[in-house]
Amino acid sequence: MAGRLDRLAGAALMTTLLATAAAADTAPVLTLKFTPQEGTHASSPDIPSSLLATPLAVVFEDDRQGVDAKVVGEVVEDEKSDPVRAANDVAAFTKDVFLKVAGEWGLKVVPGSPRVLKVKCIRFFVSQNHKTIGAMFASEARFVFTLSERGRVVWEGTVSGSAHRYGKRNEENLNEVLSDALKEAYANGVSDPSLVAAMSGGGRGSGGGAAAASPPARAEGITPAQLLSELLDLKKQGFATDLLVQYVNQKTLSAEMSGKDMAEWKQSGMPPAVIKAALARSPGAKQP
């Protein structure tokens, strides 16, 4: 009898392992491609010409905590979520994209330079939420930028980008929203006024000089697209509307909610009360 139970237990374990392997085999796999859309509003960052010729070394680090290095997103349908895994190396992809756009923007990246920009990826994720027809795509890219001058940190700040789109369920849309978020994050980073000030100060003297006193950048607000991305994450985790409203009330938007923003929020399934709360957090809104 004991032998039979052992055989049954072994068979059950094998069935579970095979089912798990089958699920992994059918999980969506995305070949990452940089395909930004022309409409990306931060595609041309405002970088002072005096900085464009300053040599800068760039170091990358993937620090997406608690995440499988290959997981870059999810496909959500009928409250069931399946991970989206990258076919290529995520860290190498994000680095190659930075070097590409940095060159297009005129930054002089030179390995071994005394001035080093460390780019640490803390989030690179896309969500494809299936609708009756098509899907809603939402992506976010977030990085920590650290500027060092001859080994001394002179500036550090968090930069991010996001994108949302409604469209067909395909790999092209996944890559497009990821690319838009990635390019926007990099553009926001290299054009950050505090970073630019730190780079300008460090360039005037050895050892950092005035730049060493520059404090880490502090975000003055969050864009409607970034807030929507955070709310979609919270909603997916089951938070009720009243809690989402309270979360919005803690935020300050860096830009007005446009008609396009409101339409995207509605298409994403945000309750009217949450949209109303976000409108009240716009820069021009009268705060209670």
What does the radius of gyration of the chain's CA atoms come to, in whole angstroms?
Answer: 22
Q: Structural domain boundaries of the chain? A: 27-213, 224-279
Regarding predicted confidence, which is higher, 235 or 4?
235
**27-213 to CATH, choices 3.50.30.10, 3.40.50.300, 3.30.540.10, 3.40.50.10610:** 3.40.50.10610
Please count the residues of the chain: 288
Q: What is the pLDDT of residues 129-163, one digit of tens each?
A: 888 888 889 999 999 999 998 888 988 888 888 88
CA trace torsion 69, 73, 76, 79 (10° rounding): 50
Q: Contact at 8 Å (CB) between 177 and 139?
A: yes
- Distance between CA atoms of residues 60 and 97, nearest Å: 12
234 confidence band (pLDDT: 50, 70, 90): confident
CB 123 within 8 A of CB 103: no
Q: 62: which strand partners?
A: 121
Range with the largest mean pLDDT of 39-48, 72-81, 178-187: 178-187
Give CA–CA dist 99/221, Å, rounded.
Answer: 28
Sign, CA dihedral 172-238-270-277, equals: negative
Q: Lowest-confidence range among 1-10, 103-112, 160-169, 178-187?
A: 1-10
Q: Distance between CA 168 and CA 145 in Å, rounded?
A: 34
- Of all residues in the chain, the percent with pLDDT exceeding 90 is 27
- 7-11, 76-80, 234-238: the lowest-pLDDT one: 7-11
* 117 closest CA partner among 59, 61, 160, 157: 59
Q: What are phi and psi of 164, to 5 degrees?
A: -140, 145
DSSP state of 217: P
How far does Cα 41 stand from its chain's mean position? 16
